[in-house]
């Protein structure tokens, strides 16, 4: 997959460093957002597979979290799809969270996506942000179910998180 011409490459970074990216997904289990988590509890999406990684020296995936080793400017985007259980209504809040190498995650408000769906439907949320990350930043995707009691599963076929370096 080619992402096109490099963004930048002037002062602060070489063009070879731009457009490197990682894309991760779920392959073995669907994250469960059901009665076991309780309404109002944020759950990390269980990313367990690296689909593409053009810079293994910069990006890694472990314990549902992407670590970005090199400081720089990055585009972070997600798509999350989930299936609503029978005879229930859902209100779901989805967002990216970043730990800037401090061991504390901060919510990225502009990636917040709120949707409400009726029973037996599939819903999709998506968002992106451009962030300046420090070395060894960690990125994850969380979902918070605010209404509903019947189990809801993330649909792993349509769920992914990607990070693209746009400047050093």
Q: Where are the domains of the chain?
A: 18-167
Are the CB atoms for 21 and 3 separated by under 8 Å?
yes
Mention the CATH class of domain 18-167: mainly beta
* Higher per-residue confidence, 121 vs 168: 168
Burial class (CB in 10 A: 0-12, 13-18, 19+), 144: middle
Residue 39 confidence (pLDDT): 64
What percentage of residues in the chain have a pLDDT greater than 90?
Answer: 45
Q: Which residue from 90, 69, 39, 73 is spatially nearest to 136, judged by alpha carbons?
A: 69
Place 137 in a pLDDT band, splitting at 50, 70 and 90: very high
Place 13 in a pLDDT band, splitting at 50, 70 and 90: very low
Model pLDDT for residues 101-123, shown as the tens digit of each residue: 999 999 998 888 777 666 666 77
Residue 129 confidence (pLDDT): 96
**CA atoms of 87 and 26, how far apart (whole Å):** 26
Mean pLDDT over residues 52-67, rounded?
A: 96
């Amino acid at each position: 997959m080619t992402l096109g011409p490099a963004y930048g490459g002037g002062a602060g970074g070489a063009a070879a460093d731009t457009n490197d990216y990682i894309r991760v997904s779920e392959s073995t289990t669907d994250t469960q957002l059901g009665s076991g988590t309780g309404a109002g509890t944020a759950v990390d999406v269980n990313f367990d597979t690296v689909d593409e990684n053009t810079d293994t020296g910069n990006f890694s995936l472990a314990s549902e979290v992407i670590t970005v080793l090199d400081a720089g400017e990055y585009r972070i985007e997600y798509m999350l799809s989930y299936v609503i259980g029978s005879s229930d209504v859902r209100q779901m809040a989805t967002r990216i969270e970043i730990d800037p190498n401090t061991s504390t995650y901060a919510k990225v408000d502009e990636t917040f996506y709120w949707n409400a769906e009726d029973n037996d439907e599939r819903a999709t949320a998506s968002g992106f942000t451009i962030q300046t990350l420090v070395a060894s930043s960690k990125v994850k995707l969380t979902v918070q179910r605010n209404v509903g009691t019947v189990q809801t599963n993330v649909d792993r076929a349509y769920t992914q998180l990607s990070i693209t370096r746009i400047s050093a």
